[in-house]
């Protein structure tokens, strides 16, 4: 079965065609970063308008990249269903993707499937480009979803049965990267900018707090570390208008990144211990972070836990994970 997947929950317009739920035939993603970066974050009204302008073109490109003719409503459609992310997300952005998907399903007489965006991030570890499909996952598994809008831990019993076992009490992990990056003047999106700056930094240079909450807690809190970065850069109570000259940006970036990765790894370890599972899956934009991958890998090797990530291109928002999970529903 071939599924067309549409993603428009936030600031990426993604359209993809996926075969058998795992083989990605095409995956086109239009990032709106250039439209939002001067505001330091996503502006919902700009986002929905940009989705409207892009969506038809992206559907056409997804068919072209998959080497399939665009359905004309008369002959064979070449895809068997349409999947669309309909939750959670920015309401105006969601509306564009859902309206496009409904219109195409009516025009082409195809079934329409509604997909949860966060569950789709978990599913992204099952997918590959062309024939490069990863090994199946062993359930139950712990799933950590770390993105700009979400930081949650699930006990996943299957691709579609997820029990929430931990979530953030304030900022999401990606949001913490974005805010720390803004404080350091490194730009948006913060994750890749911090990682790049951190390459030449010493992760032990600044001792930022690791907020782990109660000893058994699987919840997260990143507001403390964000404030610590602010005070470190701009002085106690953020009184300095500009960063002090003595601050090393690479050391601050590396120390911040290390602190966030330590917390995420520790929480995965707690979740694995509590649930007794043998596999942990990590998805979402922050799953692209090299330091996080290394930390989790080291933990997994030491404790005999299989750690699974999506391909780098599938960490941030995309239509492929929507089409893939849509095939399972
Ligand atoms: O999954 P995603 O595209 O959107 C949401 O569903 O929110 O994630 C975007 C987030 C941004 O906050 C961005 O800073 C973060 O993922 N991100 C990273 C990296 N690449 C993207 N964070 C840390 N390291 C990265 N390499
Ligand atoms: Zn996402």
CB 188 within 8 A of CB 33: yes
What is the reported pLDDT for 121? Answer: 97
The whole-angstrom separation of Cα 325 and Cα 314 is 13
Low-confidence ranges of the chain (pLDDT < 50): none
Report which protein residue has its CA nearest ligand 1's atom 14. Answer: 191
Given the CA of residue 177, which atom of ligand 1 is nearest to it? 14
Instruction: Say if strands 12-19 and 2-7 run parallel, antiparallel, or are unpaired.
Output: antiparallel
What is the Å distance from ligand 2's center to 39 Cα? 20
Residue among 31, 57, 46 nearest 92 (CA): 46
* Closest listed ligand to the CA of 288: 1
What is the reported pLDDT for 75? Answer: 78
* Closest listed ligand to the CA of 116: 2
Report which protein residue has its CA nearest ligand 1's atom 16. Answer: 285
Give residue-wise pLDDT tens across range 230-285: 999 988 777 776 666 689 999 999 999 999 999 999 999 999 999 999 999 999 99
What is the Å distance from ligand 2's center to 124 Cα? 11
Report which protein residue has its CA nearest ligand 1's atom 19. Answer: 191
* Closest listed ligand to the CA of 147: 1
What is the Å distance from ligand 2's center to 235 Cα? 34
The whole-angstrom separation of Cα 324 and Cα 16 is 9
For a mutational test of ligand 1's pocket, the pick from 90, 257, 286, 289, i.e. the residue with the most ligand atoms closer than 8 A to its C-beta, is 286
Given the CA of residue 9, which atom of ligand 1 is nearest to it? 6
Query: Model's pTM, two decimal places?
Result: 0.95
What is the reported pLDDT for 41? Answer: 84
């Amino acid at each position: 079965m071939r599924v067309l997947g549409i993603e428009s929950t936030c600031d990426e317009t993604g359209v993809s065609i996926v075969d058998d739920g795992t083989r990605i035939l095409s995956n086109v993603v239009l990032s709106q970063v250039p439209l939002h970066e001067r505001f330091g974050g996503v502006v919902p009204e700009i986002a929905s308008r940009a989705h409207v302008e892009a969506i038809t073109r992206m559907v056409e490109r997804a068919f072209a990249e998959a080497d399939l003719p665009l359905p004309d409503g008369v002959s064979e459609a070449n895809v068997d269903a349409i999947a669309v992310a309909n939750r959670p997300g920015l309401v105006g952005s969601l509306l564009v993707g859902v309206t496009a998907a409904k219109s195409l399903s009516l025009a082409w007489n195809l079934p329409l499937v509604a997909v949860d965006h966060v569950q789709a991030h978990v599913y992204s570890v099952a997918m590959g480009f062309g024939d490069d499909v990863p090994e199946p996952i062993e359930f139950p598994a712990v799933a950590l979803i770390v993105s700009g809008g979400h930081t949650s831990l699930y006990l996943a019993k299957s691709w579609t049965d997820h029990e929430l076992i931990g979530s953030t009490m304030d900022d999401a992990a990606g949001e913490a990267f974005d805010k720390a990056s803004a404080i350091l003047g490194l730009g948006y999106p913060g994750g890749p900018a911090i990682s790049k700056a951190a390459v030449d930094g010493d992760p032990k240079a600044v001792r930022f707090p690791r907020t782990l909450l109660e000893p058994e807690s699987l919840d997260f809190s990143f507001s403390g570390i964000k404030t610590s970065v602010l005070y470190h850069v701009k002085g106690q109570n953020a009184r300095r208008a500009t960063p002090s000259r003595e601050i090393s940006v690479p050391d601050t970036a590396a120390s911040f990144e290390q602190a966030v990765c330590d917390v995420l790894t520790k929480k995965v370890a707690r979740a694995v211990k509590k649930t007794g599972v043998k596999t942990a899956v990590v998805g979402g934009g922050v799953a692209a972070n090299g330091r996080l991958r290394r930390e989790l890998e080291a933990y997994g090797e030491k404790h005999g836990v299989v750690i699974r990530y999506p391909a780098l291109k599938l960490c941030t928002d995309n239509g492929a994970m929507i089409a893939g999970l849509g095939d399972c529903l």
